[in-house]
Structure 1
Amino acid sequence: MSDVDPRDAIVDHVPALRAFALSLSRNPADADDLVQEAIVKAWSNFDKFEQGTNLRAWLFTILRNAYYSRGRKRRREVSDPDSIHTRGMAVGPSHDGHLAMSDFERAFAQLSDEHREVLVLVGAEGFSYEDVANMLGVAVGTIKSRVNRARKRLAELMGLDDGESPVIEAETGTRAALSNSTFTVT
């Protein structure tokens, strides 16, 4: 048995691995990727290498398996360099898009301080009615009434029909949703 660590011998096999990878892939960039992948896999699985066996054969087997795994994966993939297929898979928003974030911001700014406060605390921050009641020093019923009136007033200012539930998406990714049960900004 040799005292030499097989990890130290990997570098000696890189040129042969690259030549083998190039013969399989017929593409220099893919060959380099395969060699790198084989070395990483070998390095992370050295506990499975049996000392005294042929290191080069073990590395070539890993590289070969990586090549065929890539081939199987690529057969399941569809090439779409111009994003033709991807564009066809896009799904529009679930709402009709008639509501812009600026309309929401304008309407929200017109609410009273009490209404903005409860909508932010209950809806955006997710506090319970009880928590908000404790924070503001009022009864839970008062908070429930304020939230209900604030939602109705906001819907009115935005010109929404009863039960209509807008979703607003801003350029920044801010999302605000108003429904009969909750108001959220995420």
Structure 2
Amino acid sequence: MGDVSDTLRAEFIACIPSLRAFAASLVGVGDRADDLVQEALMKGWANLDSFTEGTNVRAWLFTILRNAFYSSYRKNKREVQDVDGAYSSRLAEHPAQDGHLDLADFRRALETLPSDQREALILVGASGFSYIEAAEICGCAVGTVKSRVNRARVRLAELLTVESAEDFGPDRSVQAILSVTTTTAVKSRAMG
């Protein structure tokens, strides 16, 4: 692999955080996600001769990762899964901060989406792929990806009871505290 360009090496390295996030969305955060990323990078590196330099390295590596995930899923489908998280929830203490709780709610809601919708949403919404790139990775039409993303967004909004942009951010009691604090600070500055 001595003839591999420095640019291609840099592109491989630059893809690692995105690959890790995508792997975590498929298998959860932890060793399994890291193993999946490592497997995708190793397969990509070993098969560089099948990559056309100048094309999208990121999409190519995401496709390899996705295929590795589904291959391992098929091999391990007889394995007992902790689908509802009952066992794993007893192993960890949930954080007390609201942001972490909101994120946990989001993750649970995301996990309830059909895998094709979740995958499309992660590729377009979280990984920054265009609809065309996501369609190439998933091996389907662009319209199919758009439909999956839209259905996923609508379903997440329903599951999280999000009706408008104001539903994001601090809840009403925190907003009230912030409002009183801001008003008091403004009055203090005006008097002083």
Could you state the TM-score of these two structures normalised by the residue count of structure 2? 0.37
Structure with higher strand content: 1
Could you state the TM-score of these two structures normalised by the residue count of structure 1? 0.38
Structure with higher helix content: 2
* Higher RCO (CA < 8 A, seq sep 6+): 2
Point out the structure with max Rg over C-alpha.
Answer: 1
